[in-house]
Amino acid sequence: MDLSFTEREMEFRDEIRKFLSSNIPPSASKRVSMGFAIDPVDVLEWQRILHAKGWGASSWPKEYGGTGWSTTEQHIFEEECANANAPLQPPFGLKMVAPVIMAFGNQHQKNHYLPKIIQGQDWWCQGYSEPGSGSDLASLKTQAKRVGQHYIVNGQKTWTTLAQHANMIFCLVRTNTEVRQQEGISFLLIDMKSPGVSVRPIIMLDGEHEINEVWFDNVEVPVENLVGEENKGWTYAKYLLGHERTNIAQIGKSKRELNRLIRLAKLQRGPNGRLIDDQRFRDQIACLEIELNALEITNLRVISSQDKKGVGPQASLLKIKGAEIQQQLTELQMQILGPYSAAHLKEALTLDWVVPSGLSSYPDFAPALSGAYFNYRKTTIYGGSNEIQRNIISKMMLDL
Amino acid sequence: MNFEYSEIQVSLQDSLEKYYSKNYTFEKRQSYASQTTGFSDEAWKHYAEMGLLALTFPEQYGGLIDSPAPPDLAAETSGSSGKTTSLTGANTVNTAITGEENMWVMEFLGKSLCLEPYLSTVVMAGQALLHYGNEHQKSTLIPKISGGELKIALAHQEPDSRYETHHISTLATPIELSLNEKKQWRVNGKKCMVLNANSADQIIVSVRTAGAVSDQGGISLFLIPSNANGLSMANYKTHDGNRASDVEFKDVIVSEDDLISVQGNGFRVLGDILGWANAALCAEAVGIMSKICDLTLEYLKTRKQFGVPIGKFQALQHRMADMIISTEQARSMAILAVKAQSETDFVKRQREISASKAYICRAGREVGQEAIQLHGGMGVTNEMSVAHYFKRLTLITQTFGDFNYHIAKVSDYLLVDV
């Protein structure tokens, strides 16, 4: 056993930390630290800053302009970015469609799409789920009919995260209805500006617009937008699931939020003093903290063995626990507010909000906390619900 | 980073497990548990022959570690905050090695449900002597421990102390002596739940040489022969087949030669002893939990109801998946406990160990209870080995600090401004 980062890795961490400390636009990091909605301007600007530094794609090999970092280095980078409140690098392009294009796309697709992802020009979204196909994804019905040099796409995708900002969508579509479900699915890249594509917002329970329905009404998609072979899309989608997994547990973000929770509990006062001095509340933090301690080490165990063995069903473990911890963090952060947790100040969720004089006792850190609790119920549902993850463990690890 | 055992450790663990699965069968184990000592002398000899008892000691004391002995932990400067400032590099390496060796051994002992007093003698007494003993104690006693010729028990709990190591009413009162004579004390008091006392040659006892009943200062540790005049024991079985005793001291005479570390440093030494012990218990628990998962999975695949193996039912599959997750997470925390042993700050070191133990108490409870439930009626009989793994696992969660005790340590550390 060697339970410490190497000296080289520690230097690497310092280098990342130093860069982040002086290169994240302050307004962008403020938005992240306040828990406000993602600002597409922040996201694209941050991607360009990272790209200029050569760090645009931490998980890509060097031949495509990536960093070529080891999984441990990627982990360190992601942890430091989270800790520094760096804006999100949306995973849909960098970590989802890009690996598929690299593995199964043709040279033209690689040359065309990958640079636009790393340079922050394209914003991708994911067209997988449909109203009738959630956990049973392979039953999807969105149809792509080959007509000459085009596919004509008809159908509806749903839960499409941040589609309102996206200009590209990668879709699983049905190209054959005669065969076993999994064998009639293709992987198609679609320009969101194509005639017939429409995006309708779905408002989540926190009142915010994060997800969407995407409708396809006789959308013409050039055949060169097919990735790999027709009817092999399911294989590519599964490849993705087993691919980028260093950040599935969101350890860095949860560590940041735990520190925030502790900080706020030391700040918040009641009739009996600071909230952190309330043993009942403090013990709940401690219980959550040890869960995160355990998951952090499990995550490092998976990462450090990944180069040797690849990631298998351990990813499901990381997802289940990571999602539960994120939820519990938002729950305790909401509880920090006590009675004020009920207040829903939608207008306060922006940087330029000025506290009205009559509301001066409302804590400035409060606006997003309760909404986050409601919003984060999603974590155990998306990306394969925690129940689906348990099915995967039963099948792949336990052979049940 | 590398979180796996070395090739040598893996192959030793594997071959021991194979050997013990044939030669330390569940039936034999149950017969050892019913002997007076509660374990097998033959197996203890075998541990010694295999070198297991020598793994964590330096060569100069008959051990197998070929690095210099660690510096005396008692010599560390300890400020008012309890933080250490001078734990040297050499010692850091050493505690890392011993922690890791103890982890794989305890994991093996857990998987095989072994009864022998490795924890009492090698982990607690052995490490205490190595890190806090004087040169005479180290050179005379450690070789005997390594050779399987000496067993030592730790008597530190009292009927009203629960898990608090500094709540001590057992008193050592100085004996009036003429000049130039060595200091002597008369020990009076009662210790309870002393593991393996009935088979121990010597006993380490925590006593109060100064201070009030719950002071952290004024505690000293003495090593006393178990047949000393005035020492008496009431022995009993524990639910997992082990042995424990309540030990009473009536005017037992001890001298300064019997001190472990210096007079009054007992709180610190006990903190470390129980840190090593809890780390070892975490590893043993992980061994047990992984065995319990294997047994339960096998049962799910073989037991049929409604015409199919019960493992086909999703209600049971998900519970099995959760057992696997808890076991993996528990393993991570057992690794944290290994890492913690080379943490130089005493308070932080204690926090990390308590975090590990708290986690293992909770995960062990979940995994153990679920295993019994998934075994159905068979799980609640004394015939199935899973029931005995469950009992041992449960007692681990009640030994040297339960969940509430350890989570309080983690919780209170949140008040420390790091």
Model pLDDT, residue B69: 59
Q: Is the pLDDT assigned to residue B144 strictly greater than 50?
A: yes
Distance CA A137, CA A155 (A): 14
A244 is a catalytic site residue: yes
User: B89: part of which helix (H) or strand (E)?
Assistant: helix B89-111
Q: Is the pLDDT assigned to residue B80 strictly greater than 60?
A: no
Residues 6 or more apart from A264 whose CB is under 8 A from it?
Answer: A275, A333, A336, A365
Q: What is the pLDDT of residues B145-160, one digit of tens each?
A: 999 999 999 999 999 9
**Pairing of the two strands A168-174 and A185-191:** antiparallel
Give B 323-382 residues with CB within 8 A of chain A.
324-325, 328-333, 335-336, 338-339, 355, 358-359
pTM confidence score: 0.94
B414 with A289: Cβ contact below 8 A? yes
Average pLDDT over residues A310-318: 80
Looking at the DSSP bridge assignments, the partners of residue B20 are none
A390 with B322: Cβ contact below 8 A? yes
* A50, A287, A300, A369, B84 from A3: Cα distances, Å: 30, 23, 10, 35, 21
- Closest-CA residue in chain B for A293? B333
Chain B residues within an 8 Å CB radius of A399: 301
A145 phi and psi angles, rounded to 5 deg = -105, 125
* Tokens coding A334: 């909401």
Instruction: Tell me the nearest-neighbour CA distance from B361 into chain A, angstroms.
Output: 12
Phi-psi region of A159 (alpha: psi -120 to 50; beta: other; left: phi over 0): left
Q: What is the pLDDT of residues B21-48, one digit of tens each?
A: 999 999 999 999 999 999 999 999 999 9
- Closest-CA residue in chain B for A70? B1
CA B367 from centroid of its chain's CA atoms: 21
Model pLDDT, residue A134: 94
- Look up residue A397 and give its DSSP letter: I
B324 with A286: Cβ contact below 8 A? no
- Decide if B317 touches A, using CB distance below 8 A: yes
Q: Do B21 and B113 form a contact (C-beta atoms < 8 A)?
A: no
Q: Is the pLDDT assigned to residue B74 strictly greater than 90?
A: no
Question: Of all residues in chain A, what percent carry a pLDDT higher than 90?
Answer: 91
Average pLDDT over residues A322-331: 98
Average pLDDT over residues A69-74: 93
- Decide if B322 touches A, using CB distance below 8 A: yes
A293 with B408: Cβ contact below 8 A? no
Residues 6 or more apart from B376 whose CB is under 8 A from it?
Answer: B303
A3 with B333: Cβ contact below 8 A? no
ipTM score for this prediction: 0.94
- Decide if B246 touches A, using CB distance below 8 A: no
Other residues' Cβ atoms within 10 Å of the Cβ of residue B193: 19
Looking at the DSSP bridge assignments, the partners of residue A219 are A153
Q: Do B272 and B131 form a contact (C-beta atoms < 8 A)?
A: yes
- Closest-CA residue in chain A for B354? A290
Burial class (CB in 10 A: 0-12, 13-18, 19+), B11: exposed
Instruction: Tell me the nearest-neighbour CA distance from B178 into chain A, angstroms.
Output: 53
Q: Do A16 and A77 form a contact (C-beta atoms < 8 A)?
A: yes
Burial class (CB in 10 A: 0-12, 13-18, 19+), A328: buried
* Tokens coding A373: 């609790």
> Nearest 5 degrees, angle CA A363-CA A367-CA A368?
135
pLDDT band at B418 (very low <50, low <70, confident <90, very high): low
Chain A residues within an 8 Å CB radius of B328: 298, 314, 317
User: How many residues does this entry show for chain B?
Assistant: 418
Count interface pairs A-B at CB distance under 8 A.
124
Q: Is the pLDDT assigned to residue A370 strictly greater than 90?
A: yes
Q: What is the pLDDT of residues B358-383, one digit of tens each?
A: 999 999 999 999 999 999 999 999 99
Instruction: Tell me the nearest-neighbour CA distance from B404 into chain A, angstroms.
Output: 9
Distance CA A230, CA A273 (A): 65
Lookup result for tokens 């938005």: A31
Mean pLDDT of chain B: 93
Other residues' Cβ atoms within 10 Å of the Cβ of residue A70: 16
* Tokens coding A287: 């219980």
Instruction: Tell me the nearest-neighbour CA distance from A368 into chain B, angstroms.
Output: 24
DSSP-derived secondary structure for A172-215: EEE--SSS-GGGGEEEEEEETTSTTEEEEEEE-TTS-EEEEEEE
- Decide if B272 touches A, using CB distance below 8 A: no
- Look up residue B306 and give its DSSP letter: T
Residues 6 or more apart from B64 whose CB is under 8 A from it?
Answer: B51, B54, B55, B57
B4 with A398: Cβ contact below 8 A? no
Question: Of all residues in chain B, what percent carry a pLDDT higher than 90?
Answer: 89
Average pLDDT over residues A229-246: 84
Active-site option among A244, A291, A296, A324? A244
> Nearest 5 degrees, angle CA B394-CA B395-CA B397?
70
- Decide if B308 touches A, using CB distance below 8 A: no
| Nearest-by-Cβ selection for B4 from A1, A277, A397 | A1
Chain B residues within an 8 Å CB radius of A4: 1
Average pLDDT over residues A166-192: 98
Chain A residues within an 8 Å CB radius of B339: 3
Q: What is the pLDDT of residues B174-211, one digit of tens each?
A: 998 877 788 999 999 999 999 999 999 999 999 999 99
* Tokens coding B369: 């209870």
- Closest-CA residue in chain B for A388? B318
H helices present in B206-345, as ranges: 266-302, 314-340
Single-letter code of the amino acid located at B234 = A
Nearest to B126 by CA among B176, B198, B69, B42: B69
Nearest to B110 by CA among B317, B330, B319, B272: B330
Average pLDDT over residues A181-193: 98
Chain A residues within an 8 Å CB radius of B411: 279, 282-283, 285-286
Average pLDDT over residues A133-139: 95
Chain B residues within an 8 Å CB radius of A398: 297, 311, 317, 320-321, 324
- Closest-CA residue in chain B for A6? B1
Model pLDDT, residue B66: 82
Best to test chain B binding among A3, A76, A258, A311 (most B CBs inside 10 Å): A3
Average pLDDT over residues B297-305: 98
Burial class (CB in 10 A: 0-12, 13-18, 19+), B203: buried
B3 with A398: Cβ contact below 8 A? no
Other residues' Cβ atoms within 10 Å of the Cβ of residue B386: 23
Chain A residues within an 8 Å CB radius of B5: 1
Q: Is the pLDDT assigned to residue A318 strictly greater than 90?
A: yes
pLDDT band at B86 (very low <50, low <70, confident <90, very high): very low
Q: What is the pLDDT of residues B87-101, one digit of tens each?
A: 333 343 367 788 999
Best to test chain B binding among A72, A246, A304, A398 (most B CBs inside 10 Å): A398
> Cα dihedral sign for A83, A84, A85, A87?
negative
| Nearest-by-Cβ selection for A317 from B301, B328, B414 | B328
Model pLDDT, residue A246: 63
Model pLDDT, residue A30: 96
- Decide if B4 touches A, using CB distance below 8 A: yes
- Closest-CA residue in chain A for B97? A1
- Decide if B311 touches A, using CB distance below 8 A: yes
Distance CA A251, CA B351 (A): 20
CA atoms within 13 A on the CB side of A149: 2
> Cα dihedral sign for B74, B79, B83, B86?
negative
Looking at the DSSP bridge assignments, the partners of residue A270 are A273
Single-letter code of the amino acid located at B348 = K
Chain B residues within an 8 Å CB radius of A282: 411-412, 414-415
Q: Do B326 and B366 form a contact (C-beta atoms < 8 A)?
A: yes
Instruction: Tell me the nearest-neighbour CA distance from A189 into chain B, angstroms.
Output: 36
Residues 6 or more apart from B65 whose CB is under 8 A from it?
Answer: B55, B56, B57, B58, B59, B94, B97, B98
Distance CA B114, CA A338 (A): 51
Q: Do B103 and B338 form a contact (C-beta atoms < 8 A)?
A: yes
Average pLDDT over residues B264-276: 97
Chain B residues within an 8 Å CB radius of A336: none
| Nearest-by-Cβ selection for B311 from A317, A391, A400 | A400
Model pLDDT, residue B93: 39
Q: What is the pLDDT of residues B7-19, one digit of tens each?
A: 999 999 999 999 9
Q: Do B292 and B371 form a contact (C-beta atoms < 8 A)?
A: yes
Question: Of all residues in chain B, what percent carry a pLDDT higher than 70?
Answer: 93
Range with lowest mean pLDDT among A95-99, A242-246, A369-373: A242-246
CA atoms within 13 A on the CB side of B357: 31
Q: What is the dihedral of CA A103, A109, A114, A120, to 10 degrees?
A: -140
User: B232: part of which helix (H) or strand (E)?
Assistant: strand B231-237
Distance CA B414, CA B410 (A): 7
* Tokens coding A160: 């499409």
* Tokens coding B310: 């019960």
* A28, A255, A269, B119 from A284: Cα distances, Å: 31, 16, 17, 32
B317 with A293: Cβ contact below 8 A? no
Distance CA B9, CA B283 (A): 14
**Pairing of the two strands B219-225 and B202-208:** antiparallel
Best to test chain B binding among A281, A308, A400 (most B CBs inside 10 Å): A400
